[in-house]
Amino acid sequence: MKSKTKYLTFNTRRHREYVNITERVAEVVAELGVAEGMVLVSAMHITAGVFVNDAEPGLLADVDQWLEQLAPFREDYRHHRTGESNGDSHLKNLLVHHQVIVPITGGELDLGPWQQVYYAEFDGQRPKRLIIKAIGE
């Protein structure tokens, strides 16, 4: 069994941003050189997430609008009593989750025809890390 770990750092220009990281994940898989296995992609911050979906701009706008409707920015979150102002970002993380596992088949990511891996930033404009951990044979 082989394994490889890589950390990426994001510092987005916007407070909320969705970054297609499929190629970067595929690079880690290629560096590992395994035929069969899996790769874990996990945001290492509780105000960011990772998800798999279509790389269509309209859908990403719909996802962003949906998340904002379910967990809107507000001043009155109890979490803000700690001095923070990102209560909505924590809730958005819960909605998209913080990690995905993607199968590796034939040495490549085994995604569906339109599936892409996204890093979702909900409290950006500062450095945040993500871990990619691939294992296989």
Q: What mean pLDDT do residues 73-85 have?
A: 92
% residues pLDDT > 90 (the chain): 98
How many CB atoms are located within 10 Å of the residue 18 CB? Answer: 23
pLDDT of res. 82: 94
> Is the CATH number 3.40.50.1100 carried by domain 2-74+86-136?
no
pLDDT of res. 38: 98
User: Is 58 strand, coil or helix?
Assistant: helix
Task: Give the Cα separation of 104 and 116 in Å (integer).
Answer: 14
